[in-house]
Each structure stands twice: as structure tokens, then as C-alpha cells.
Structure 1
Amino acid sequence: MTDKIRQRRPAFDREAGVAIAQAMFHEHGFDAVSLSDLIEAMDIKPPSFYAAYGSKAQLFEKAMLRYASENALPLDKLLAPDRTVPDALAGLFVAAAKQYAKDNVLRGCMITEGLRADDEVAREMAQALANEGIKVIREYLDQALPDKAQCLSDYLTITLRGLSAAACSGMPRKRLIEVAQTAGRFIAHELGSPPG
């Protein structure tokens, strides 16, 4: 007669849980992913979830930070001082279009789309992260074109968010890139200098 040995479950991998949540939030949005959806996908019990992440909103923040670390646009390279302003901004639009449409399922910018969350806490977390990127762009424009910095910064923010929304809606990658190139040409025309 053999003794039955109770097998212990392997320790829960918190980072793996964040990766699961990131994919779910990115594909469906914060509001459409329920706590029970997350718990089921991670195969853990509610007390373990709360012990690991605190709340759904706190997990969303961790997921957005993970997304940013892997997918943030390389603004330091795109806005490098050796590029003309029209070339840099045109490059930023095209890089964003390519990034937002690189995956067939996880489309758009997860942080930008997080700004649409009904949950105020989640929305504020997304806004705080989005503001970091906007700040870098604005500082670049303050140095390069101080008299046009505010309007150009607003134009870039609105255009990048529009590209993200269009990607989420299923616009093909080729068309997104064409729109990004058109926006770059518009900026170049406004600044009186051809990009690239």
C-alpha cells in the first residue's frame, strides 16, 4: 500500500500573470475584462489574486507599465537632434502606425486605449503614463520650435491617438502607414521643409 502524497501547486508566477492580463486588457479594454475573467485565465483563487496585485486597477497599471517597457516608441531616436523637425515628426507618425498594427489581435496603443476606460482610477493611470510621452514630445518641440510647440504637440497627440483608434478598429497596416505618411507631409508643408 502506497501513501498518497498530496501534490502542491507550483508557486504562482506574478510576472506571468501580468503578461496574461496585459494581453487581455490590450485586446478587450479595461472595462470588458472582469475580475473573474482574470482569475480564471491565471488559474488562481481570488485571495491569491488580491495578494499578488491588490486590485484589478493596480494590475492594469502593472500591465500598462509592462506594455510600455516592451512597446514604447523610441522617442530619443525618433526625435534625435541630427534629424530635421519635419523628418523627426514624420518618422514618429510612421513608427507609431507600424507599432499599432504590428499584431493582428493586440492592435493600437494599450495606454492610449486605456484613456477610454469607464473606471476613473484606470483612466487616470493611463493618463499619467500617456502624459510622460507627451511631455517628451513637448520638450523637444519647445527646444526646436518654441513658437509652434503647443499647436504641434496637440496635433501630434491627436493624430497618434487617431492612428491607435483606427488600428483598433481594424484598419489595415498599409493604410495606417499611408495616413501617417500623409500627416508627415502635412507637417512638412506647414513648416516649409520637406521631410527626410
Structure 2
Amino acid sequence: MTNRPKETKKAARQRRPAFDREQGVEVAQALFHARGYDAVGIAELTQAMGIVPPSLYAAYGSKLALFERTLHSYAATYALPLEQVLTVPGSPSEVLTNLFVTAARHYTRDPERRGCMVTEAMRADDPQAAAIASSVAAKGSDAIRAYIAEHASPGDADRITDYVLVTLRGLSSYACLGHPQEKLVECAKVAGRALDAEFASPQPVSGASLGNEPA
């Protein structure tokens, strides 16, 4: 049996640890959330991950594919807890007002990652990135639409859904602009008061329903 030469301490120090792809997704997610898809380049991503560009392409395929993975990771781990909020007992206006308030607090809980990453990604200049974000957003918007459809008349459901989605997007946008949590919570409560009237009396439908908006 041939004895292998002992590894020198210098060689041991020079060996790089294996690249953790899941950790790389977390690093990229933080960058994309804070600055948006368009503003984050390959050089910044690889520097943050401690790898070279060929390693990034080998691990994820492309910047766009990496971005898609970060959006799915965010939706699964960090997004607004819709299922939990929408199953709390209460009247529809109370539940949806609580959704607004929860969103205001959720979107301002981390000073480095303000707003909803998926919502803001829908405004990306890159059409493919925006389309991916819209696709990821569909699950959340569909859950909100389904909840409202259970509690509102067919003629009112689309209008109320549009109102809820617009309000959530506005809260995300204002969180990204740096408005304090206390202010957004108060705005959320004001927005919720309109829901009492919406669920109390049917009103005629006007205009088309909005597209997908993330929660």
C-alpha cells in the first residue's frame, strides 16, 4: 500500500470551502430586496458571495434564474403571512384591516429590507424579471381574491379586491420610501375603515379588475 504524502499546512489553508448554493441565494436575496433587480450586477453578487462569475453561472445558470430563486425563497420564508392573517376570526372588514396593519408592520420590520420584495420586483425595468415577480405574486393575490369572494357579493368582489391590492402595494411603496412604521400603521387603519361600508352595502361595479399584486 502506497502512503500518500501528508498534506502541508499551507495547502490546507489554500483549499476553499465548498460553495453553499442556498447561502448564496440568501445573500442575493438581501441585495435584490434592498436595491432591486436592475441595480444589482453580477460583479456585486459575486463579490458578496465570495465567488467568481463563472461559479455563479455554474451554480444558478444566470442572474435572472438566481433572481427567480430568491423570489421563491422570499415568498416561502419572508412574505406576509396571508394564510395566518386571513384565517383569524372576525368580520371581513376586521380581517382585512388587520391585513393592512400587519403589512404595515411587516414591511418596516427590517430597515435594510423594506417593503415587499415581490411587489417591488414587479416594477423592474427588465420585462422578464417583472414577469417572474408577477407570477410569484399570483398566489398571494389569488388568496386575497378568494377570501373576499367568500364574503362579498359577486358584483362587489372585484372592486374590493382591487382596493385591497392597491392598498397593500401603496404600503409597500411607502415603506421603501422610508416612512416610519407608526405612520403606515395609522394609514392602514384609515384604509380599513372604508371596508365597513364596502361590505355593508352593495355598489355597482365599474371598470376592469386589476392584475396580480403580491401580498
Instruction: Say whether the fold is shared (TM-score over 0.5).
Output: yes
Partner of 1:50: 57
1:179-194 matches, within 5 Å, as 179-192=187-200
Q: Whole-Å Cα distance in 1 between the matches of residues 175 and 89 of structure 2?
A: 30
TM-score normalized by the length of structure 2: 0.84
**Number of residue equivalences:** 192
Among all aligned residue pairs of Structure 1 and Structure 2, give the percentage whose two residues are the same amino acid: 48
- After superposition, give the CA deviation of every residue in 1:94-114 in whole Å (9 maximum; x if it has no partner): 111110011112100000000
Partner of 1:176: 184
Contact 1:71 1:99 in 2 (8 A): no
1:27 aligns with 2:30: no
Contact 2:89 2:95 in 1 (8 A): no
Q: Residue 133 of structure 1: which of 121, 140, 143 is its match?
A: 140
1:15 aligns with 2:16: no
**SS of 1:49's equivalent?**
helix
Structure 2 gaps of 5+ residues are 1-6, 202-215
Structure 1 gaps of 5+ residues are none
Q: Whole-Å Cα distance in 1 between the matches of residues 82 and 102 of structure 2?
A: 10
Q: Whole-Å Cα distance in 2 between the matches of residues 77 and 42 of structure 1?
A: 34
What is the CA distance between 1:81 and its match in structure 2?
7.1
Partner of 1:62: 69
Partner of 2:172: 164
TM-score normalized by the length of structure 1: 0.92
Range with bigger deviation, 115-124 or 76-85: 76-85
What is the CA distance between 1:174 and its match in structure 2?
0.3
Q: Whole-Å Cα distance in 1 between the matches of residues 125 and 106 of structure 2?
A: 25
> 1:188 is matched by which residue type in structure 2?
D
CA separation of 1:149/1:190 partners in 2, compared to 1, >3 Å: closer, same or farther? closer
